[in-house]
Every structure is written in structure tokens, then in C-alpha cells.
Amino acid sequence: MSLSRRRFLETATAATTTAGVLNAARTGGPGDTPLPTRALGKTGARVSILGMGCGSRFLMYEDEDAAIAALHRAFDHGITYYDTAYSYGNGLSESRVGKAFEGKRDRVWITTKIDDREGDAARRRVEGSLKRLRTDRIDLVHIHALMDEDDLARIEAKDGVLNTFLKMKEEGTVRNVGITSHYNPAVLKTALERHPFDCTQMALNAALVGMKNGENGMVPNPAMVNSFQTLALPVAVHKGMGVLAMKIFAQEALVSEAPAEKLIRYSLSLPVTTVVLGMPKPEMIDQNVQIVKAFQPMPKEEMHTFSNSISLRNKARIDEMFRDHVDA
């Protein structure tokens, strides 16, 4: 079921684009090169290969003016993908994103995520998100943080969140529907196989390659099986979904293990559209923009060597950290 990165990139290049999102790309300065973009699955849009995560790291901008200035800084660099959620500060993140991009709505792609599993509650939550985001539609809404088989059953219920979001897509309030998972690649694989998601977001970093059930739920597995990368990602690519990579630094747990440039390069060398990063300081925005502008795909052998080296040292603790993790 795997697809080569070459085939993925050829598909991305051939995809149609949404002019508003494409035209949002800025150069970041006179004579500077533009931020690269990729097609977001079958959505018809192209977005920047670096997305700004507006979760716990973004909420470290305690002052609202500083937070909005950071969003404007990202936009001026050419970042068009913004990832928020109601659970990020009980709507605070959404409100800041909405305020920052009022009047620029057609020039950015805004994704929000909803934790509710019951359909009526999820609809009410989206209605609140629309107000906070100051918009009449959401580009992508994710069912947030899929955990296990029981959780998937709640999502799939007749009166559950999935059917509600698909109905909202028909109504035009939501343009695309996706699902995220931090923890369980096997259950995410099942969800992606069963349902017509437009996009998915999963934890994809070099240390998490090779999840396998064992004591406390996970044990290291150098054979590189049973991971998001080897289980869920191929399904998403096969079905033409837009793939968003998160937890590139594993909530900063990997920054002492490898340079940011190498961690980002590894994840962008997978068949993904965008790496979503939390950037709690303006200089981090600048640094990450320069890294992705200089991106060159990592050779497969180098990816394998790199992932093996940091997975053996770090995977067990990162697996456990993400067991009940929701980036609130």
C-alpha cells in the first residue's frame, strides 16, 4: 500500500489549487525566496510546508498583542497554514487567530480541532469556533485526538461527531473533515480505511518510528513496524488525503538529541504536506522559515540511520508521554 515519495510529489504538483491560499504566500522580504508549498491532498488547496501550531506553545505568548504580532510575522514569512483548537485555552487560541486574520481570511488556511464525540455538542462547538475565528466557514475541522477502539466507536456512532461533521461539510459550514491521533497508529489506520476523511494529522518524527504493543502499551521496535509512519501514513497517502505532521520535536523532548534542521528535514522527507510546529518565540518563526526554505529531501538510507539512532534512546519515554496527551 506504500507510495514512493516521488509519486506523492508528482501527485501534489498536479493537484488543483485554491487561488486564495496560494496567493497568500509572501516572500518575507525583498529578494527573498518564497516559502515552498505543497498540495493538501484532494482539497484543491496548496499550503506552506511549514504550518504554525497555535496550541500550548503559542499560548506561551501571554500578551495578546505579542501573540497576534507572531501570527502576522508568520504570515509575512509566507506561512499560510494555521492550526488551532477550542481546547487551546478554551477558545483563546481561536480568538487570537480570528482577530489576526480578519480581513485576510481568503489568504490563509485555518484548521481547528474539536474534542467532542457527541454530534450535537460538536456542532455547537463548531458554531462557537466560527464566531471566535470571525469567519463563515472553517477550511478543515479535525476530530481531535483519537485514542482507542472504544473512542473510535463513539466517533462512528449514528449520532456521533463524524456524521455531524460530514453533514456540516454538505451544508458548507465546514469545507473539509479530518482526524488526528497522537498515540494509536493502528486505530488511526482503521479510521482512515473506513471513512472518507479529507485530511489527517499524526505524530510523525524520527523517534516514534516503530511503535509496538508491549509492557505499558509500547516498547521499542527497531524493525520499524506498527508506527504512524508505517501503518497510518500509507493509508492516508493511498487515499489521497492531506497529511499534517505534528510532534516533530516531541514537545521539545528531542531538541537535545538532534538539530531542529534535521528533525524537520526528516519529517518533511515523508509524504506529508506540512509540518506543524509550535513557535513560542519570534526568532523561532524566523529560524524555522529559513530551515524549510533550504529543505532538501533526506536520502532514505540516512532517514533509516537517523531514526534508528534516536528511536532507541527516546521512543519509550515519548510513547508514554503521548499516551494521554492532548496539546491544550
pLDDT tens per residue, range 169-190? 999 999 999 999 988 999 999 9
Query: What is the reported pTM?
Result: 0.85
CA distances from 166 to 175, 195, 214, 232, 313 (A): 9, 10, 36, 21, 41
Contacts of 81 (CB under 8 A, 6+ apart): 47, 48, 50, 51, 52, 108, 109, 111, 244, 274, 276
Return mean pLDDT, the chain. Answer: 85
Residues 24, 197, 113: CA angle, nearest 5 degrees: 65
Which one, of 18, 37, 19, lies nearest residue 27 by Cα? 37
How far, in Å, CA of 111 to CA of 246, rounded?
13
* pLDDT one-digit tens code per residue, 67-117: 999 999 999 999 999 999 999 999 999 999 999 999 999 999 999 999 999
| Distance in angstroms (rounded) separating the CA atoms of residues 70 and 46 | 22
Position 64 scores a pLDDT of 97
Rounded CA separation 321/250 (Å) = 9
Q: Which band of pLDDT confidence, cut at 50, 70 and 90, is reported for residue 278?
A: very high
141: cell is: 475541522
Q: Which amino acid is at 40?
A: L
Whether the CB-CB separation of 258 and 314 falls below 8 Å is answered with no
